[in-house]
Amino acid sequence: MQARLGEQVAVAVLGAGGTIAPGIVRDLAESAEVREMLLLDLDGERAAAVAAEHGGEKATSAPVDAREVDALARRLADVDVLVNTAAYRVNLDAMRSCLAAGCHYFDLGGLYRMTRRQLELGHTFEREGLLALLGIGSSPGKTNLMAAQAVERLGGDGSDIRSIDIVAGGRDPVAVQDGQLRPPYALQTLLDELTLSPIVVRDGRAIEIEPLSAGGVVDFGEPIGRADTIYTLHSELATFGASFACRSASFRLSLASALLARLRDLAGTPADTVEAAARDAVPPSPETVSVHLVKAVAESGEWVKVRAVTRPFFGLGGSIVSTAAPAAACVRLLARGSLSAVGAFPPERCLKPSEVFSELEARGCTFEVLTGAGGR
C-alpha cells in the first residue's frame, strides 16, 4: 500500500537487528516524513530491542525469514517502502516480496554479482510503478553520487571520462584500545569482500584480479592520514561502466591493520568458526570516523576529487551513520515526492547528488571538492 507523495510513509526495515539498521531506525524516528516503522529480523528479540532503543514511538517489530517470499510480502502489506539491511544474499527474495506487496525497495548493495541480477528485475518494477533503489548506503550509495558529482563537474555526460576510482576507509579508536573485533558492518559480508575476486574495469572491460591485491598508500586526510589499501569486490563496479562510460574504474578499501589481520585469520575457516566470531563481535564504537574519496579523470587530464567525512552523530559512530544516513535520506526524498523514478536503478541514475548531500550534511557528513589537471 503506497502513500501519496507528500504524505507521511510507513517504512519496514529488514535485518533490523544488524549493525547498520539501528542508525537507519534512529534517523527515521527523527524524520517527520515517517509515520511508522516495522522492524523485521530473523531474530525477533533483536528487532524488538532496536525498536525500543532507537525507534521512539514509531517502531514495532516482528520476526520474519526473508527467504520466505510470501511471508515477507504479508508483513509488507501496509508498508510504502522496505529498507533492506539484511545480508545481500536475500536481496532478490526481498525484491520479489516487495513486488507482491506493492511497495518500494531500497538496499545497501549487492556485492557486484547480486546487483547485476537485481537490475534484471527493473522492467518488472517499472511495470508495477515501483522503485528498486540498489545500493544506497555509504559505498555503494554515497560514493555513486560523489562519482556523479565529479563527472558533472568535469562538464560531461561521462563519455569523455578516463577513470573513476573509489577509496573508502574507517577507523575506530576504541577497537585499538580494547582489542575487540569491531567490524564496520556484517562480518560475513566483509569477509566476502576480501576473499572473492575483486572486479575492476580496465580499457572498458570488467576483469577479475586477485583477492587482497595491494592498492597502494592513499592520503585520506584527517583523521586517517596516509594508509595502505587493498582492492575488494564492490557493487559500484557493476554500474559505473554503463552509467559513466568510463574506460577504467576501481574500488579500494583501507582497514585498520589489527582488524585486517583478524579478518585474514578468519578467511577460509569453517562456517561455524565465522558464525562464532560474528556472535562474539561487537558493534563499532561511537567514536568511529568514515572517509570516502572518489576521483574522476577526464581524457583531457582534468580531474575532480570529492572527499566525504562522516563523524559520530545521534550517539552512533561515523561508520554506522555513513551507511545509514543515505538510506534514511532517500526515504524522506521519496515521501516528499523528490524521488519519482520507477524501475531498478543504482543511485547515480535516479538521484540528484545535491539533494542527498544536503540531507547528509545534516547528519554529520562533510563534503570537499578538489580540482586539478595532470598527475594523480
70-96 pLDDT, tens digit each: 999 999 999 999 999 999 999 999 999
Sign of torsion, CA 345 347 348 350? Answer: positive
In a domain, 3, yes or no: no
Bridge pairing between strands 161-171 and 226-231: unpaired
Q: What is the CATH number of the domain that holds 215?
A: 3.30.360.10
Q: Are residues 253 and 109 in the same domain?
A: no
d(CA 22, CA 20): 6
C-alpha neighbours within 13 Å on the C-beta side of residue 213: 16
- Residue 352's alpha-carbon distances to 136, 192, 362, in angstroms, are 13, 30, 17
What CATH number should be reported for the domain holding residue 58?
A: 3.40.50.720
Question: Do residue 215 and residue 184 come from a single domain?
Answer: yes
Residue 240 lies in a domain: yes
Q: Which of 294, 314, 306, 290 is nearest to 363 (CA)?
A: 314
pTM for the model: 0.94
- Those residues with Cβ within 8 angstroms of residue 276's Cβ, 6 or more apart along the chain or in another chain: none
108/250 same-domain check: no
**Weakly modelled stretches of the chain, pLDDT under 50:** 1, 3, 376
Same domain, yes or no: 254 and 310 = yes
Compute the C-alpha angle 182/184/186, nearest 5°.
Answer: 95
Domain enclosing residue 265, as ranges: 142-318+364-373
Note the helical H segments in the chain. Answer: 21-29, 44-54, 69-75, 91-101, 113-119, 122-127, 142-153, 173-178, 187-195, 236-244, 257-266, 271-280, 318-336, 353-361
Question: How big is the CA angle at 124 (ends 98 and 241), to the nearest 5 degrees?
Answer: 105
Cell numbers at 301, concatenated: 587530464
Q: Tell me the CA distances in angstroms from 54 to 23, 114, 218, 222, one per residue in order.
A: 8, 30, 36, 30
Is residue 2, in this structure, part of any structural domain at all? no
Q: Give yes or no: residues 88 and 156 share one domain.
A: no
Same domain as 150, residue 132: no
CA atoms within 13 A on the CB side of 328: 27
Residues 163 and 125 in one domain: no
Same domain? For 215 and 256 the reply is yes
Inside any domain, residue 199: yes
Q: In angstroms, rounded to a whole number, what is the distance separating the alpha carbons of residues 64 and 177?
A: 37
Q: How many domains in the chain?
A: 2
| 349 close to 27: Cβ distance less than 8 angstroms | no
Q: Is residue 4 part of a domain?
A: no
Q: How far apart are CA 106 and CA 81, in angstroms?
A: 7
Tell me whether residue 332 is in a domain: yes
* Nearest-5° Cα angle at 131, 169 to 47: 60
- Give yes or no: residues 73 and 208 share one domain: no
Rounded CA gap, 323 and 275, in Å? 23
Are the C-beta atoms of 134 and 243 separated by less than 8 Å?
Answer: no
* DSSP letter assigned to residue 313: B
Closest by alpha carbon to 244, among 166, 167, 140, 348? Answer: 348
Pair 35, 111 in one domain = yes
Residue 189, in any domain of the structure: yes
154 occurs within a structural domain: yes
Are residue 228 and residue 164 in the same domain, yes or no?
yes
pLDDT at position 1 is 45
Q: Are residues 201 and 305 in the same domain?
A: yes
